[in-house]
Structure 1
Amino acid sequence: MPPPPIAPGGPGQVPYGYPGPAQAYGYPGPQQAPYGAPYPAGGGYAWPGMQPVPSNGMGTASLVLGIISAVGFVMWPVALVLAVLALIFGGIGRGRASRGEATNPGVALAGIICGAAGIVLVLGLFALIIATRG
């Protein structure tokens, strides 16, 4: 048996057993609680959210500065400053990696090692200069 025809002014009271008016785009709108307030949205399965991006910048900067200081130790004032910065940034990067904020503890350790090598090379250059002058 087909549903009754719809009146020109829109559907009236739909008899029991027949589907109600269709929603415009698929999913029905929010259900109304007593006194006109809408029900809260259902729990369901929510997107867990994005994990924070690891902050690997300090470890990477430590490695870059350490390599530059070790390779360019002949320019001793610049190399010494870069080596000290490599040690500082490497320590900060290792701390972040131990707290789980970064994922590159090995890179930070390599920066510390290269920075220490840069300091040793600069001090060796000073020793060589002092030994040859005397």
Structure 2
Amino acid sequence: MHDDPLTPPFATKIAVAVRDDLESWQRLNVTAFLVSGITAADPELVGEPYVDADGHQHLSLLGVPILVFEASAETLRNARTRALERQIPSAIYTKQMFATGYDADNRGVVAAVAGADLDLVGIGVHGPKNAVAKILKGAHLHP
């Protein structure tokens, strides 16, 4: 095994699960926010900037695969619990966050609710492949 997280075979994986009753725009929005949380927590997963044949530089991207799943509200709650039990950090998005206007308000609506009572619409995790698979047990690959 090698130490470079950006070179296959990948020892870890990123997975995002969004609730199966969301509108399409909500699923995309939640996925983007959750992946940004994982990126902020693990900047070593970001590759080098892209440069096209004309020499124009473009922003760096995550250098590892991301799997996107859909799941029921119950499966998301269970995934949060399993992530906590396995000490795998998670990015979360709650239903109440759709009604806020900015980051501080988002943190406020999360802080107002006990963890077990969060109305999760999405969760993102990055960790060892087997742990991530167990955390997202019951979720299905997004169609």
Choose 1 or 2 for highest CA Rg. Answer: 1
Higher RCO by CA contacts (8 Å cutoff, separation 6 or greater) = 2
Task: Settle same-fold status: TM greater than 0.5.
Answer: no
TM superposition score normalised by structure 1: 0.20
TM superposition score normalised by structure 2: 0.19
> Larger % of helix: which?
1
> Larger % of strand: which?
2
